[in-house]
Structure 1
């Protein structure tokens, strides 16, 4: 059996950032990754994807952005290359293509069973990311004349889809970007809209994230919020990273011919049904956008004009049903988010809804930590630029824990 003081599970930005911080402290550790460094970025995103956050915001510990386009939006491939380079400079001890099958307590530490043998560790850090298992709330039916059905994490490009139109279910960041790309490629697109968060890419000549960070919005902790449960469930922003900084939201999608309809409620072998709630969803999102823009104006000392991005026009008639018999849709893409799966963790460390129970990344099991999850310590904990501060805090706690447990970090 191999031994390590600390085992980090996951070599995305969270795991590599923590590795950097532990190495700075002289703490012996390894990183186990089921694929390659940044595997989820490589294999679970579409080819044209660009980061939603501007380059200046995507710094990792000890590695600020120093390129020529601080206000640009890095491509998926460029970010993977950056992450790999960061890992190499940090000398991160990554063991690629190692899948962790189970982790259980063993004496005062843990025993991990993997596809490359067993490991024992005093500390285990779960850095598998917030986007873990694709969530498909309504399982598609199978049979003759049924459209193909995939999750957004399986989408790569318009050319790789079956012929015909596309129904995109979900109008957060992935859904609107995929719908936009498909429509601009010439596809007929229907977008099923539920609860969503709308904000402009640029406001008062600054990227929207510039304002959110300057106002302290992204550093908010759950304890600071009036409704923490609502904050946890908040959909991702309707944004895209584009060179021209243009918006990608329901209004712009309407402008290029995307059909909007309400939330998907049922699916059978013959048809899909939609709720009559599109106007309600649009009104709620636009009202929230206006409230936040007024806050920004007040913070910036501007007189609010009451104007914002173009309003979304509620269709006079909204599709309630989509029959498969007419062949309009050849593919359904589920842009419905993710859930977490911790079946490999054989530990008493979970809440009633199956999430890891923790306080600022420190779980209820001594020596077990979490990193990279939404609202781990603050609102931006699952952002590239937000994981660094969390990694530094977890590294400090791990170092103290190892010292208190009588194990000298090598």
Structure 2
């Protein structure tokens, strides 16, 4: 059976739901197709102890505040329930457990071939997000089969890991959180660190995100001259969703017993090689930190806000001499490599020319160069917060009128 729609939204996470709500408000007929249950990645591809990095008051989508300040940092399962509730209360047209097998171009329209029939759409929003498939380097295949390999999306807690120590690869928010959790269980833990941003949980009496939001830092427009792949690869802040203002970075992890190494760059059997450029990477991380904190300081001064100064936050985190060179994981008691190296996007189901040489959608601010095709939920897509729950809603509000104008300009708009 073939069905017809003005706008087809692929992906039922926060991005797809925000887009649907904005289009419903604009009177544009749309439907959201979700391959699993609504917001399923928050429960099926996240570890149980995960909490959002953003406080509850930032958990909002168009037309509804999903959490408040008193909720603190929501857990993944709690957020999934709230997103499901959002879809119900907003009356959004969502179809669950339907897999889009192929998206084809059909003249000036699109045909989506799904596991339950086909859809002909005049416009399509790809809202599958940035966390699609784990990005694991090809040389990982050279590791011995005796070394268990899992991605952060497969991690379900320390008790589910094989006996022995763990090497966590990646030092952005996910990597440092997992390394801290595993080390706290008493296991031998190593962390291979690459690009990162050392960040305080609180600064000058307030949560970091309160300052970043108020100062306009999160609204900074996407920098020009960078490809979609470069923007998506930007490291996330080293933070943990914790009401006790606990900080997590390479220095605190080293103090807790984690062995910090440089970037993991090669493997042969049970031997893994680490680069020797972490000191330079840490220097860049400190520069990013200082720019961020100095920007907050300037905002506080210009706004005349009474906030206690915090010179300690501007100091280096301590002395750290990372491991470099090659080591034998088995000799160090390491039986598992946990990849916290981010994700790649899989657009192989798009059967027309829409992606660049790196496999990323060719888009600028969510507008693809294929007429009628749009994107939502990618990091730095329109501003710094484009992949945040709060930011994706603002992007949806900005893109919805563009979709409406496109449909009006191409005749036959059906108003819901």
> Do these two structures clear the TM 0.5 threshold for a shared fold by scoring above it?
yes
Among 333, 349, 363, the residue aligned to 1:358: 363
For the 8 Å contact 1:199–1:238, the answer to whether it is kept is yes
- Is the aligned partner of 1:105 residue 2:120? no
**Is 2:326 the counterpart of 1:326?**
no
For the aligned residue pairs, the C-alpha RMSD in angstroms reads 2.2
Range moving further from structure 2, 148-157 or 271-280: 271-280
CA distance in 2, matches of 1:384, 1:43: 18
Corresponding residue for residue 33 of structure 2: 32
Q: SS state of the match for residue 61, structure 2? A: coil
TM-score (norm 2): 0.92
CA deviation after TM superposition for structure 1 residue 335, in Å: 0.6
Q: How does 1:65-144 map to 2 (within 5 A)?
A: 65=66, 67=68, 69=70, 72-141=72-141
Return the alpha-carbon distance in structure 1 between the equivalents of residues 351 and 317 of structure 2: 48
Q: Does 1:346 align with 2:351?
A: yes
Unaligned runs of 5+ in 1: none
Shift of 1:303: 9.3
Residues 318, 360 of structure 1: alpha-carbon distance in 2 compared, 3 angstrom cutoff: closer
2:170–2:341 CA contact under 8 A, matched in 1: yes
For 1:44, the equivalent position in structure 2 comes to 45
1:141–1:269: 8 Å Cα contact kept in structure 2? no
Shift of the 66–358 alpha-carbon distance from structure 1 to 2, 3 Å rule, reads closer
Separation of aligned partners in 1, 2:87 and 2:15:
11
Report the secondary structure of 2:140's partner residue. coil
Task: Quickly say closer, same or farther: Cα 1:75–1:380, change in 2 above 3 A.
Answer: same
The whole-number CA distance in structure 2 between the counterparts of 1:371 and 1:206 is 30
The aligned counterpart of 2:304 is none
Q: CA deviation at 1:315?
A: 4.0
- Paired position in structure 1 for 2:61: 60
Paired residues of 1:52 and 1:73 also in contact (CA < 8 A): yes
1:135–1:198 CA distance, 2 compared to 1 (3 A)? same
SS of aligned partner of 1:307: helix
Matches within 5 A, 1:256-275: 256-275=256-275
What are the ranges of 5 or more consecutive residues in structure 2 without an aligned counterpart? 302-306
User: Are 1:385 and 2:386 an aligned pair?
Assistant: no
Which position in structure 2 is the counterpart of 1:196?
Answer: 196
The worse-fitting range, judged by mean Cα deviation, of 275-284 and 140-149 is 140-149
Deviation at 1:228, TM superposition (A): 7.9
Q: How does 1:148-159 map to 2 (within 5 A)?
A: 148-159=148-159
